Each structure stands twice: as structure tokens, then as C-alpha cells.
Amino acid sequence: MKPFLTWLDQRTGYKALMIESLNERVPGGARWRYVWGSTLVFAFAMQVITGLGLWMSYSPSSTTAWESVYYIQHEMWMGWLLRGIHHFMAQAMIVLMALHMIQVVVDGAYRAPREVNFWLGLILLQIVLGLSLTGYLLPWDQKGYWATKVATNIAGITPVIGTEIQQIAIGGSSYGHHTLTRFFMLHAGLLPILLVAFLAAHVYVFRRHGLHAPNPIYRPDTTFWPDQVLRDAIACLAVLVAVVLVMWKLRGFGPEGGAELGAPANPSEEYNAARPEWYFLFLFQFLKYFPGTKEVYGAIYIPGLAMLALFLMPFIGKSTAGHRANIVFLFGLLAGAGFLTFEAMKADAKNPGYARAVHQAELESRRIVQLVKTKGGIPPEGANGLLRQDFVVQGPKIFARSCASCHRYRGTNGLGEESKEAAVASDLESFGTREWLKGMITEAGHKKYFGASPKHKSGEMAAWSKKYGTKMTPAEVSAVVEFMMSSSGRKDENPAGLEFQAGEKFFLEGSENVPAESTCITCHSMTLKRYDRKSMSKEALASIGAERKAAMEAWEAALEASSGVGPDLTEYASEAWLRKMIDNPGKDTLYPETNAMPAFEKSLSATDKQMLIDWLLHKPFEGEVKETAETVIHE
Amino acid sequence: MEPPRRSFLYKAFTLVVGAVLPLPAIAAAIAGLMNPLRPVVRQKQAPSGSVPIGKDVGYFATLDKEALQRAGGDPVRFAIIADRKDAWNVYPKSQIGAVWVQKISQSRLDFEQNWKPALLKSVLDKAPTDQKASIFEDLLEVEFSILKRQKEQDGKEWMPADGEKTRARYAKEFSQYKDAVDRIAAKPVWEGAFRVFNHSCPHAGCAVDFKKDDSGKPGYFCPCHDSVFAADGARSESSPSPRGLDRLRYGYNASQSLCVKFQEFKAGHAEQETQ
């Protein structure tokens, strides 16, 4: 080995380079406070490695960006770890930069002759912030999309060149393919190249002036290798452990953990939880204090002035008083940012709308993963189409839009928002289930059923329920419920029990507690397939036994005598019945006189109507991950 | 070793050659970077599938009147659907934006839909005496907005002189309500039967939500930086938004359907500038 190394050294001079770099003098001995620069280099190296790993599978376009990140996160071998490290190390870099800067300023390491190196460091700070801003968009999820929209709109108010900057950044006047390709070029190309170049200059100038020791007689001088290198290495290890721990603690390991991936960006689906990454929250909050045209002060002038003050630190710090002023200024800046961050978080914590938006975003991001897994992949148009046609996500939104001005769903508008106004129609959460049927019989006047509606509250059903429903025995109630279930054939409930026959009898004849002239069929008509001559063939009719024939005739006679003032209960609460109700509730066979609901036949599209119905009827989800999804949706 | 002494021209020529070498590559790359600023790229094409109203150009989208009817007086959010172009793709029938539409009152709507030149007078004749003044002022604004819209639908611009002429004419015709005519004429915006706003917050582009505040006062609210707008779109004093919500023009097509002219404006500026 040795002869080879000697041969190599004679041709390259690498030994001298190694000695030169490792034998750097450390005045006053190795110290922990010098480790920050090295941890930053380490963090950047991690970002390069994981970034290259991500690059292998990432595809920047508005129909492939989210989709490829989904693949990395959920299907690629250890992809979640790759993303997780990249995401959390980026945040660690911000913290490390703050620590590095505090150390440099407190130790006065920015003073002559190290001014230029201090400025190089400030430029590096800007580059790293630029990297995190551009990286936030690349997954093209709702969060990244809306945060970037806000950020670029703010760039657009820069005096004179704002509009042009904005258009160059987003690649036109609207957000799409070119926004991604451009941000990706910045994130993976231009900014890293600049960072390497400025980092090289930073290290070179640092070596030229040597380490600035605040206390050169702290301990005897030593060399960089191995005393300081050991401390640096341990610090880097600590950073790595911290990053992994934070990832584990906040998000967990595995494809469901690591870095977050929201629902795919959808320009038409407003996202009420749009917030920047936590280290930009202070700027976000700051903007709230600048009304109207004064915004440019909050967004550009004041941050620009603060940056200028940082650049002037080497001159201000020439005197001891100036140096102290610099330290006070830096800590003031950090405290101010911390305060604003706290204020932003406090405002969001107090805002139920924000909590709902975050909840909805999480729900959609879990649901889309489930949909992709169920379908076995994403269609070439992108993942958004899957969400747009999903009744689990769209059902409550359609309900909120079209139904919630009168109806409620578990007391809310379907999306968890409680209205200030009282409902004027039923709460449809349990619509058509056994619970609902039982309630309609025994307490129809309750506000969950007819009690909320001014017309139905004092209507016949509420009155009947009060007079007779409350007198029915539990066995009678459950028999009628099973009878109704046998007619609706609802798939979200267990099949009807055998008591349905007793229920049919009650429906027709009443019981000891409910006289025949007040039983169900006296108001409600109901066609039963087994008694429906029209739907039977001649042969089938002829082969009917005497017993069934008698029952059939009794049913027909009762139907003939029925006043029909109540809605027709044929297949009540089935998909077909609900569709008729939504289309035209004022129809003869439904509520011709007491209806207060608009007809949605024309104003809801066929797909929207189907999604609303599927959701209201609790249609089971497809896919093997059904259980977990249901707990998510109904939590 | 002493560097060889060469003439000044020699050095200058080397520098020039060195400077020229990367130029083609840099120029081409900068051209690519600046591409979005080219007028052809910058100019937004009117989305396909619009319904023209009169000679007014731009994208008119038809709205569903039933949904408005259902909402009573509350604003309704409508998606604007058109073919969306994104660099090399066209996405047919995509949502390109959304608008909030609010019916101001049924009496205004009845007036607007049945409007003909002498309608105001006949409505006034039938009105109870004690309400005449308030009905006049309410409907005059609608009438002014109709006149202005009609001119715009002919592809002409409404000039200050038109306003003055109209004011003088009405002040003469309805001399007993001269003050009301002056008040309406002085309003910066004449509202008709509907208020139509682009749903993007003029601050930074988030979508605004319609809400009633704790005292029950309705208005629009932006979930990002807390801008607040009144129901007529005016910004509240403390809002970060530099201007009120962007009001859009509406009209009726040949089959009397409500149509809105969908436009987008630059965020962050006090003045409306089309994007």
C-alpha cells in the first residue's frame, strides 16, 4: 500500500493538501462552540445525497409531480426515509444556521479582517432560504401549491420589477407545468451550484484568516485534526440523531410517516390551511399587520432593512458598544421572529376554521393514498381526478354546498362546521338506518327528524308518532323497522331480520296499541314486489298459493283504501327512493303539500348526485384498507 | 519566471475572445428564462366555450339561476369551467376559477329582468306613497347600472360625460327626487340585481370565504392573512388586502340566463390590473 501512496503523492501532492487542511491551527484549543459550520456542511452533504436519490424518481409537471412523490413515499424502497431525511434535515439547517450566526456574532468573528467572510455567510443564508422556499412547492400538494401562490404574489408587489419577477418565477401568468420545471431548476440546479461556489469561497476565506478564537489563551493551541474534528463529528452525529428522532416523534417511520404529503394540488379547491413552513411563519404573521398598500413595507422594505443591518454588522461592530448593539439587535430579531411565530400559531389554534381545514386536508391526503392503492395506480391525467370522483371526499362537500342551508349532518354542514342558524330540516347522518326508522316511528317530532321543520313539526307523522309510536312495544317497533329494511335493502345495514313478517302485519293491520284505522298503510302507500301483479308473469300469478293470494288481496284492498297523504314508502330510503326525493320532493307520491325542499333534478349534475347519494347511504368503500378509512372518515 | 511582455492588444483580444465564448449559451439560457415575458405568452387567451354578450369581448360563463334562488340572499360560489391551457397541455372543461354571486334583492331582480325604458316610472306610480322615495333610489341605481352595461355590451366605454348626461336627464324627469338622483350619480359603482366577485383575495390570491361574524353581519373573509370584506366587496380598514374584492361584470344572454364576465386581476396592487 505504502509504495502506491507514495507514487500517488509524487504525482498529485495529496499529502501536502491533507496536511494543509487537517493541521489547521486552533488557537486556544478545540471547543464545542466551533462545531456549527461543520454541522452545516454535513447537513448540506446529506441534502445533496438524499436530493440525488429523490431526483432519480421525481418528475416535475403538474400531472406527475405529486404522483411521482407519492411513488417515492409509498412504493419506493425506503423512499419515505429518503424524503424524511431530506425534509427534516432542511429544517435542521435553518436551526443550525441560526446557531452558527449567533456564535459568529457573539464571538465577534465578523470583525476585520473577516468582514467578507461574514457577508459570504449571509449570502449562503439567503441561498438556503431560497432552497427551502423552492423545495416546498415540488411535491405539488395543496400545502405547497397555495403557500407558493401566496409567496409569488408577494414577490409580485416588489416595486418596479415585481410583475416580471413573478412571471419569470412561475413561468407565465398561471401556475402549472412551468412553475414546477422552473422551481425544480432553481432547487436542484442553480441554487445548489451557487451554494457550493459560495461555500467554497466561505471556507477558503475562513482558512485564509484562520479561526477566530474569542479567548486564545483558553487552553494550549491545538490542530484541527483530530481534536476539533472529533468534536465536529460528534456534533454531526447529534444532528443526525436529532433529525431522525424528530421525524420519528412527529410523523413516525414508514410510508405513512416521514415527510408529509398532502392531497394533490388543485387550483379550484380552495385550501383554507395554507401556511408556509414554520420558519417562515413569522413573515406570514408580520404581513397581517400591514393594511392595504402598506404591505410592501412588511413584505419587502422592513425585511430588506433588517438584512441590510446584518450586512453592516462588521462596520457597526468596530467599537465595543457597536458590537454589543449588534448582539442586542440579533437577539432582538430572533426574539421578534419567535414572538411572531408564536402569535401565528396562537391565532391558528384559536381558529376552528383552520383546524377544520387541516383536518380535511389530512383526511384527503389519506383518502387519496387509499384510492391510488385501490385502483392499483394513478391514471395519466393525474391523481386529482380520483379525488374529484370520490364520494367519500365529495359527498360531504356537495352536502355542505347544496343541502346544509336547511339540513344538518351530525349537527354540522357535513364538513364539521356548525351553523349559527338553526336547522329547518332533518339531520341526515343516520338517514334510512335502523336507528333512523326507529326514531321516525317513536319520536318523529324530534329535531333530528321532523322536529326542525316548521311544516313537518306539526304535521301528521309527528302527531302520529306522539300518539301511537310511543305506545308501540319494542318488539312491534323492531318488527316494523325490519319490514322497512326488507323493502329498502340497504347495503350499509345488516339484512332484514325475520321479524319483518310481523312488521308487514303491523303495517297493514296495526296491533292492540295501534288501531287498524290508524296504522301505517292508512296514510302511506307501499308497493311490495311479492304482491305486485303488474311485475309478475301470468304463470307466476297462476301458481300463487291460497295463503299468499289472500295476503295479496288484503294488501291491495288496504292500498285502495289508503288516503296516501304520507309519502309512498316503496323501497323507502333506498338509493332509488332517495334519488326521487332529491330530484323532485314535491312529487305526488312524496310530499306534494308539505314539501319545503327545492327540486335538484336540474341543478345537481348526475355525478354529483350519485356521489351525494352514495355518501348519504354510507356506501362501503372499495379496497382492502376499508376499515382504517372508515375510522378516519367517521372519527 | 518573468511573464512574457506582450502588447496590450494581445491581452485585450484574449479577453474579448474569452468573453464571447460563453455568450451564445448564456443568451439562449436567458431567452428561455425570459420566455414568460414575451407578449404572445403573456397575453392570456380567452378560454374557449364562452357565451358572448353583445359586442362585449371576454369570457362569459353561464351560471345556474336555481342555485341562486335556493340560497335566498346569501352569496353562492360558482365554479368557472373552461378549457385550461398549461404549457403543452390543454385540459378540457377544467375549473379555471370561481366567483361569488349574491342576489341583492328580489325587487331589484324583477326590475332588472323586466326592464324597459319607462319601467321605473310605472313601478313608481304603483308604489305606496310613503315608500316611493326609497323605491326610487333603490331602483334608480339598478337603472343606471343597466344603462352603463348596455353601453358596454355594445363594445363602447362608459365615459364621465355619459354619467353627467344621464344624471341631468333623470334630475329633470324626476325633479321631486333630485337629491336621490345626485346621490346615485355620485356612487363609484352602480349595483344592479347581483353582486359578482372573483373569489381570489386581492392580497395574495387565497380563496375568500363568505361568513357571518359573531354579530351576524355578513361578509367575506380570507383564511390566509385575515383580510375582511363587506358584503359589497369593500375592504375593511385593517385588512392586508390593498383593495376590495374584484367585482366582475354580469349580463344576460339571449335565453335570459345570468352570465358573468370572468376576469383575473393582479394581486397585491391597490389598482385593478388585468393579469
pLDDT at site A499: 84
Under 8 Å between Cβ of A155 and A304: no
Answer for the pair A498, A541: CB distance below 8 angstroms, yes or no.
Answer: no
Show Cβ contacts of residue B71 under 8 Å, excluding neighbours closer than 6 positions: A405, B103
Q: What is the mean pLDDT of residues B86-108?
A: 88
Distance CA A483, CA A475 (A): 12
3-class state of residue A30 by DSSP: coil
Cβ(A59)–Cβ(A65) below 8 Å: yes
- β-strands B89-103, B60-62: how paired? unpaired
Which of the four pLDDT bands, split at 50, 70 and 90, describes residue B44?
Answer: low
Residue from A477, A487, A492 nearest A577 by CA = A487
Whole-complex ipTM: 0.86
Q: Give the pairing type, strands B89-103 and B76-86.
A: antiparallel
Is A270–B207 a contact, with Cβ atoms under 8 angstroms apart? yes
Tell whether the torsion through CA atoms of B191, B196, B200 and B201 is positive or negative: positive
Most distant CA pair in chain A, distance:
115
- The reply to whether A284 touches chain B by the CB within 8 Å rule is yes
A381-401 confidence digits (pLDDT tens) = 899 889 989 999 999 999 988
CA angle A333, A114, A116 (to 5 degrees): 80
Span A162-176, pLDDT tens digits = 889 999 999 988 899
pLDDT surpasses 80 at A294: yes
Tell me how many degrees the CA angle A40-A43-A49 measures, rounded to the nearest 5. Answer: 145
Q: What is the bridge-based pairing of β-strands B258-261 and A25-26?
A: unpaired
Which residue, among A368, A358, A566, has the nearest Cα to A465 in the 3D structure? A566
Evaluate whether A22 touches A224 at the Cβ level (below 8 Å). Answer: yes
Residue B67: per-residue pLDDT:
67
Res. B47: pLDDT tops 80? no
A522: its cell numbers: 292508512
Give the residue carrying C-alpha cell 449570502. A123
Q: Residue A628 pLDDT > 60, yes or no?
A: no
pLDDT score, position B59: 76
Chain B residues whose CB is inside 8 A of the A287 CB are: 225, 240
CA-based nearest residue to A576, from A494, A501, A446, A488: A488
- The 3-state secondary structure of chain B reads CCCCCCCHHHHHHHHHHHHHCCHHHHHHHHHHHHHHHCHHHHCCCCCCCCCCECCECCCEEECCHHHHHHHCCCCEEEEEEEEEEECCEEEEEEEEEEEEEEECCHHHHHHHHCCCCCHHHHHHHHCCHHHHHHHHHHHHHHHHHHHHHHHHHCCCCCCHHHHHHHHHHHHHHCHHHHHHHHHHHHCCCCCCCEEEEECECCCCCCECEEEECCCCCEEEECCCCCCEEECCCCECCCCCCCCCCCECCEEECCCCCEEEECCCECCCCCCCCEC
pLDDT tens for A342-388 read: 999 999 999 888 888 888 888 899 999 999 998 889 999 899 889 98
Q: What is the edge-to-edge ordering of all strands in the sheet holding B250-252?
A: B60-62, B258-261, B250-252
Is residue A116 over pLDDT 80?
Answer: yes
3-state SS class at A546: helix
Q: What is the pLDDT of residue A622?
A: 66
| CB of A159 less than 8 A from some CB of B | no
pLDDT at A632: 41
Please give the residue of chain A at the shortest CA–CA distance from B235: A292
Per the CB < 8 Å rule, is B242 touching A163?
no
pLDDT in tens, A528-584: 888 888 888 888 888 888 888 888 888 888 888 888 888 999 899 999 999 999 999
Do the Cβ atoms of B42 and A167 come within 8 Å?
yes
A189 near B CB under 8 A: no
Among B68, B78, B198, B206, most A C-beta atoms within 10 A, so best to mutate, is: B206
The arithmetic mean of pLDDT across residues A188-212, rounded, is: 95
> pLDDT above 90 covers what percent of chain A?
53
Distance, in Å, from the CA atom of A173 to the CA atom of A578, rounded to the nearest integer, reads 44
The model's confidence at residue A635, banded by pLDDT at 50, 70 and 90, is: very low
Q: Which of A160, A174, A271 is the best mutation test for B, with the most CBs of B within 10 A? A: A174
Q: What pLDDT shows up at residue A516? A: 83
Question: b/e string for A578-589 if b means 16 or more Cβ within 10 A?
Answer: bbbbbebbeeee
Is A631's pLDDT higher than 90? no
Q: Indicate whether A634 pLDDT > 80.
A: no
- For residue B57, is pLDDT > 80? no
Q: Which residues of A touch B206 (CB under 8 A)?
A: 146, 149-150, 270-271, 274
Tens digit of each residue's pLDDT (9 = 90 or more) over A31-66: 998 999 999 999 999 999 999 999 999 999 999 999
E strand or H helix that includes residue A26: strand A25-26
Which residues in chain A (459-518) have CB-CB distances under 8 A to chain B? none
Contact indicator for A195, A127 with CB cutoff of 8 Å = yes
Query: Stretch B95-118: mean pLDDT, rounded?
Result: 90
DSSP, collapsed to helix, strand or coil, labels residue A588 as coil
The per-type count for chain A, helices as H runs and strands as E runs, is 28, 2
Q: A150 in contact with B at a CB cutoff of 8 Å?
A: yes
A91-95, A325-329, B92-96: least confidently modelled range: B92-96
Q: Which residues pair with B207 in a beta bridge?
A: B200
pLDDT over 80 at B43, yes or no: no
Q: Buried (b) or exposed (e) across B60-90, using 16+ Cβ within 10 A? A: bbbbbeebbebbeeebbbbebbbebbbbeee
Contacts of A271 in chain B (CB under 8 A): 206-207
Size of interface A-B (CB pairs under 8 A): 123
Ranking A429-433, A539-543, B57-61, B188-192 by mean pLDDT, the lowest is B57-61
Mean per-residue pLDDT over chain A, rounded: 90
How far is CA A407 from its chain centroid? 26
> Rounded CA gap, B263 and B261, in Å?
6
Grid cell, residue A327, equals 448582539
| Cα(B76)–Cα(A337) distance, integer angstroms | 39
Q: Give mean pLDDT, residues A234-253.
A: 96
Q: How many residues does chain B have?
A: 275
Average pLDDT of the residues in B15-41: 92
| A419 contacts chain B (CB < 8 A) | no
What percent of chain B shows pLDDT beyond 90? 42
Q: How far is A348 from chain B (nearest CA, A)?
A: 10
- Collect all residues of chain B within an 8 Å Cβ-Cβ radius of residue A270: 98, 199, 206-207, 209
The pLDDT, as a whole number, for residue A627 is 40
Please state, in angstroms and rounded to a whole number, the distance separating the CA atoms of residues A459 and A124.
74
CB atoms within 10 A of CB A7: 10
